[in-house]
């Protein structure tokens, strides 16, 4: 598994992930389940690997 998420991208994913997870607890009904997308963002930020980036050929990490 090659790292393909850079530091700026990680910070953005962590912030958006925390917002998403908090929406899970704040919203009601079916809309709250969209907050679980925040979990995916947090996982990709902490692992440094995004499977979607691999499919699209994107790499925001400056290291090779």
Task: Give residue-wise pLDDT tens across range 40-56.
Answer: 999 999 999 999 999 99
Residue 32 reports pLDDT greater than 70: yes
Q: Are 35 and 22 in contact (CB under 8 A)?
A: yes
Residue 31 reports pLDDT greater than 90: no
Say what angle helices 37-47 and 7-26 make with each other, to 10 degrees: 150
**Of 59 and 63, which is predicted with more confidence?**
59
Q: What is the reported pLDDT for 64?
A: 62
Q: Write the DSSP assignment of 22-36 as a string of letters.
A: HHHHH--GGGGGGGG
0.85 cut: is pTM over it? yes
């Amino acid at each position: 598994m090659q790292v393909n998420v850079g530091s700026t991208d990680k910070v953005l994913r962590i912030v958006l992930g925390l917002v998403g997870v908090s929406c899970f607890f704040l919203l009601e009904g079916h809309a709250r389940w969209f907050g679980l997308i925040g979990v995916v963002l947090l996982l990709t930020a902490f692992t440094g690997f995004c499977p979607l980036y691999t499919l699209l050929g994107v790499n925001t990490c400056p290291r090779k």
